[in-house]
Structure 1
Amino acid sequence: MSGKWQHPWRVLVVPYYLNRYARQVHVLRVASAFLAGLMLVLASRIPHGGWALVTILIVLGGAPHWGGVRRKAMERMGGSLLGALAGLAAIVLHGASPWLCYAWMLAVVALSGWHAQGRGGYLALLTGITLVIVGGVGDEPINEALWRSCNVLIGSLIGMAAAATLPLRALDSWRFLLADNLREAAMLYNRIARRLPVDGDAALDQFNARLIRLRGLLASVTQESALTHRELDQVQRCQRSIWTLLDRMGEVSASTPALAEDASPRRAIVRTLLRASHALRFNQPQLLAESLPAADNPARMREPTHCHWLVAELSLTVEDLRMQLHAILPRLIEAPPPARSLVRAMRDGGRRR
Structure 2
Amino acid sequence: MLLGRLRDPYTNYRYRRLFHVLRVSLALTVTFAIVHLFPMQHSGWALVSTVMVMGNLPHIGGVLDKGRQRLVGTLVGAGIGLMLISLPIPGWGVQVGALIAIAIATWVVFSSRQAYAGLMFAISLLLVIGNGAPDFSVALWRSADVLIGTLIGIAATLVVLPHKATDVMRFMLADNLDRLARLYHAHTSATAAPGVDTRELLKATTSLLVKQRGLTDAVHREGRLTRQEVDELVSYQRRMLSTIELLLESHWTTREGHDRIDAMQGLRDQQHTLARDLSTLAFHVRTGQTVSADIRPFELQGFADLASGARGADGRMLFSPSGYLWLNRELARVASSTAVRLASLERLPSKRLRLRAGRHGLHEASHLDSKEGSQHEPGPH
Q: TM-score range by the shorter chain?
A: 0.7 to 0.9
Is structure 2 residue 336 aligned with structure 1 residue 319?
Answer: yes
In 2 relative to 1, CA 137–307 (structure 1 residues): closer, same or farther, beyond 3 Å? same
Length-normalised TM-score, structure 2: 0.77
Contact 2:264 2:306 in 1 (8 A): no
1:72-91 aligned within 5 A: 72-91=66-85
Q: Which runs of 5+ in 2 are unaligned?
A: 253-257, 308-320, 352-381
Look up the equivalent residue of 1:275 and give its one-letter code.
T
Q: CA shift at 1:246, angstroms?
A: 1.8
Tell me the residue number matched to 1:181. 176
C-alpha distance 138-263 of structure 1, shift in aligned 2 (>3 A):
closer
Shift of the 116–262 alpha-carbon distance from structure 1 to 2, 3 Å rule, reads closer
Deviations 1:46-68 (A, max 9, x none): 12211110100110113232212
Give 1:192's aligned residue. Answer: 187
Q: Kindly indicate whether the alpha-carbon contact (under 8 Å) linking 1:10 and 1:17 is maintained by their aligned counterparts in 2.
A: no
Deviations 1:232-272 (A, max 9, x none): 22222221122122222223488442889477423431232
Is 1:151 aligned to 2:145, yes or no? Answer: yes
Separation in 2 of the partners of 1:252 and 1:100? Answer: 69
Structure 1's 96 and 251: CA in aligned 2 closer, same or farther, altered over 3 A?
closer
Does the CA contact (< 8 Å) of 1:225 and 1:331 recur in 2? Answer: no
Q: 1:334 and 1:246, CA in 2 relative to 1: closer, same or farther beyond 3 A?
A: closer
Equivalent position of 2:312 in the other structure? none
Identify the residue that residue 62 of structure 1 maps to in structure 2: 56
Distance 1:129 1:302, change over 3 A: same
Show the counterpart of 1:52: 46
Give the corresponding residue for 1:37: 31
* Stretches of structure 1 lacking an aligned partner (at least 5 in a row): 1-6, 336-353
Following superposition, the deviation at residue 275 of structure 1 comes to 1.9
| Counterpart-to-counterpart distance in 1, 2:216 and 2:165 | 8
Q: Residue 114 of structure 1 aligns with which residue?
A: 107
Deviations 1:215-244, CA, capped at 9 Å, x for gaps:
211221122224332322222222112212
Deviations 1:291-317 (A, max 9, x none): 222321358533233543322121111
The reply to whether residue 331 of structure 1 matches residue 347 of structure 2 is yes
Cross-structure match for 2:206: 208
Contact 2:233–2:338 (Cα < 8 Å) also in 1: yes
Shift of 1:206: 1.6
The one-letter amino acid paired with 1:49 is S
* Distance (Å, rounded) in 1 between the aligned partners of 2:38 and 2:342: 51
**1:10 Cα deviation from its structure 2 partner:** 6.1
Deviation at 1:160, TM superposition (A): 0.2
| TM-score in terms of structure 1 length | 0.83
- SS, match of residue 162 in structure 2: coil
Contact 2:288 2:350 in 1 (8 A): no
Classify 1:263/1:60 alpha carbon distance in 2 versus 1 (closer, same or farther; 3 Å). Answer: closer
Structure number with greater Rg is 2
Conserved 8 A contact 1:91-1:101 = yes
Q: Percent identity?
A: 31
Q: Report which of the two has the higher share of helix.
A: 1
Asked whether 1:249 is paired with 2:247, we answer yes
The question of 1:271 aligning with 2:276 is answered: yes
Contact preservation (8 Å) 1:66, 1:224: yes
Higher mean C-alpha displacement, 211-220 vs 170-179:
211-220
- Distance in 1 (CA, whole Å) between partners of 2:166 and 2:224 is 11
**Which stretch shifts more, 226-235 or 176-185?**
226-235
Counterpart-to-counterpart distance in 2, 1:300 and 1:261: 9
Please state if 1:71 is matched with 2:61: no
The 2-side partners of 1:210 and 1:66 are apart by: 20
Give, in whole Å, the separation in 2 of the partners of 1:45 and 1:12. Answer: 36
Matched, 1:170 2:186: no
Q: Residue type of the partner of 1:289?
A: S
Residue aligned with 2:347, SS: helix
Residue 96 of structure 1: CA displacement?
4.5
Q: Tell me the SS of whatever aligns to 1:302.
A: helix
| C-alpha RMSD over aligned residues | 2.7
> Is 2:309 aligned against 1:310?
no
